[in-house]
């Protein structure tokens, strides 16, 4: 279905993603883990064509999407909707209009300028919001909602595109545990019920284990692990994160970085950095 072949992204001398190869042969829920700077976001951005690859190919059902331009590229971006840590909603706009923004790629500029949406689209937006348990918030401004609710609005906006793939870049990194759970459950349900592939950059190991069928570990731009959650032992996780023996399973990549920074600072005799 989706095949990523030796995908590479260089920024000057720095290689953010280094010959990443990934084969997804059927709809799946995949978690990508790795410490900060491992290349997780860059990989998703290349898949969505927000960033161009320096080398390598992305094939979707045999079609090379790396080479798409103009309208074909936009059509691909509709097929693989992206969700971000910061929701990227229009805060002062009402929830349902935010969701309708998901149809932007296939609407005329004129209709967009005048905020004209077909009734059928409005009904569908409400239906999707209902499915995500937030239909009652439809008329409210997006900024009036909690983080978890806002992220569900972003998921609804993505679903409005009827995408084959959902790419989520740390969708729960700014949420409290309760909201994080609701959002991950929503993504899981979208995979289970609709058969959409969800590829999710995740901050914590336990989230990846709990919600994903397959976990991909990245380190220094390379894919260093690709397997089942059960194969993700503490030893493997330590390899992926490049962490020491004090590595804790519950730690997030940020916590590991902070830990490393404080250890480095302590070694130098300086005050720890938090
Ligand atoms: N636009 C850019 N210009 C230059 N370097 C970049 C750019 N985007 C990313 N990088 C670099 O590429 C590497 C990978 O970054 P990326 O954001 O993909 O990592 P990440 O795994 O998503 O990290 P985080 O967990 O912090 O989100 C980093 O070294 C980063 O500094
Ligand atoms: Mg990132």
Using one digit for the tens of pLDDT, what is the confidence trace for 145-154? 999 999 999 9
Pocket lined around ligand 1, Cβ cut-off 6 Å: 11, 14, 16, 34, 36-42, 253
CB 114 within 8 A of CB 168: no
The residue ranges of every structural domain in the chain are 2-242, 244-274
CA angle 130, 133, 137 (to 5 degrees): 80
Strand-strand pairing, 214-219 and 165-169: unpaired
pLDDT higher than threshold 80 for residue 265: no
Residue 112: its pLDDT value, please? 60
Ligand 1 atom with the shortest distance to the CA of 201: 22
Ligand number nearest to the C-alpha of 254: 1
Question: Is the pTM above the cut of 0.75?
Answer: yes
CA of 109 to the centre of ligand 2 (A): 32
Each residue of 79-101: pLDDT tens digit? 999 999 999 999 999 999 999 98
Secondary structure class of 175 (helix, strand, coil)? coil
Which residues are close to ligand 2, an ion, with C-beta < 5 A? Answer: 40-41
DSSP E strand boundaries for the chain: 2-11, 14-24, 29-33, 55-60, 63-64, 80-84, 165-169, 197-201, 214-219, 222-227
Tell me, in angstroms, the distance from the centre of ligand 2 to residue 87's CA. Answer: 14
| CATH 3.40.50.460 given to domain 2-242 | no
pLDDT reported for residue 270:
44
Least confident of 116-120, 128-132, 260-264: 260-264
Pocket test for ligand 1, best of 35, 38, 204 (most atoms within 8 A of CB): 38
pLDDT at 92: 94
């Amino acid at each position: 279905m989706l095949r990523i072949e030796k995908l590479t992204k260089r920024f000057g001398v720095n290689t953010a993603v280094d010959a990443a190869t990934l084969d997804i042969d059927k709809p799946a829920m995949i978690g990508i883990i790795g410490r900060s700077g491992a290349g997780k976001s860059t990989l998703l951005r290349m898949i969505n064509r927000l960033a161009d690859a320096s080398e390598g190919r992305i094939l979707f059902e045999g079609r090379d999407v790396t080479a798409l331009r103009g309208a074909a590229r936009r059509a691909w971006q509709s097929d693989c909707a992206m969700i971000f840590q910061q929701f990227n909603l229009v805060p002062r706009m009402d929830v349902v209009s935010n969701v309708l923004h998901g149809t932007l790629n296939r609407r005329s500029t004129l209709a967009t300028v005048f905020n004209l949406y077909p009734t059928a689209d409005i009904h569908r937006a409400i239906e999707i919001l209902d499915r995500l348990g937030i239909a009652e918030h439809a008329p409210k401004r997006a900024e009036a909602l909690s983080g978890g609710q806002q992220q569900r609005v972003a998921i609804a906006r993505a679903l409005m595109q009827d995408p084959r793939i959902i790419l989520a870049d740390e969708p729960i990194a700014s949420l409290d545990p309760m909201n994080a759970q609701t959002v991950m459950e929503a993504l899981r349900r979208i995979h289970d019920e609709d058969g959409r592939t969800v590829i999710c950059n995740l901050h914590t190991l336990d989230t990846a284990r709990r919600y994903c069928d397959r976990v991909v570990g990245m380190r220094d731009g390379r894919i260093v692990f690709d397997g089942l959650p059960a194969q993700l032992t503490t030893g493997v996780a330590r390899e992926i994160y490049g962490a020491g023996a004090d590595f804790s399973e519950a730690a997030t990549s940020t916590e590991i970085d902070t830990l490393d920074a404080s250890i480095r600072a302590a070694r130098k005799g300086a005050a720890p950095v938090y």
